[in-house]
Amino acid sequence: ASVFGGETMREMRIACAVGELEREGGVSQRVSPLARVRDCGNLLTRAGMTLPAVDVDTLTMRYPNVMKLIDHVRFMGEGNASASRRPGPVRRGTAAAVAAAYATMFPAVENESDLEKAGVEATFQVLYMTGWSPGEGQQVA
């Protein structure tokens, strides 16, 4: 099985915190909580698997702007599903502040001359979980 890991969209979490703090004076959860490597290992063990293993891939994606990143996240169905999130859509002023903070803090540049046309970067961490169901002929850890 594979799931998004805890480092997924860390840039968005940081930019949301900065933008909301600036515009609304506080911070709410805008990105769903994600699993950590040890959470996945514990899950496999609790499910009765032996020899659990968790592998990690970290991917850095580039987007032309923050809105394209948000569209991609929505199309993947990865919006915030947390019951404790703030109800309703993000206010326009807050969304603009988040987009500005994201573009400023996480530009996708190779050198300073490309800053205007670079877009933004987003990190996606994928955790791959494997384990064996117990059996007589299985090796022992």
Total count of residues recorded for the chain: 141
Per-residue pLDDT at 14 exceeds 60: yes
Helix axes 10-24, 66-75, angle to 10 degrees: 120
75-133 pLDDT, tens digit per residue, is 988 777 676 677 777 889 989 999 999 999 999 876 556 555 678 999 999 999 999 88
- Cβ neighbours of residue 119 under 8 Å, at least 6 residues apart? 62, 63, 64, 65, 68, 107, 108
29-84 pLDDT, tens digit per residue, is 777 778 899 999 999 999 999 889 999 999 999 999 999 998 998 898 877 767 66
Output the CA–CA distances (angstroms, integers) from residue 15 to 36, 54, 111, in the order listed. 21, 29, 22
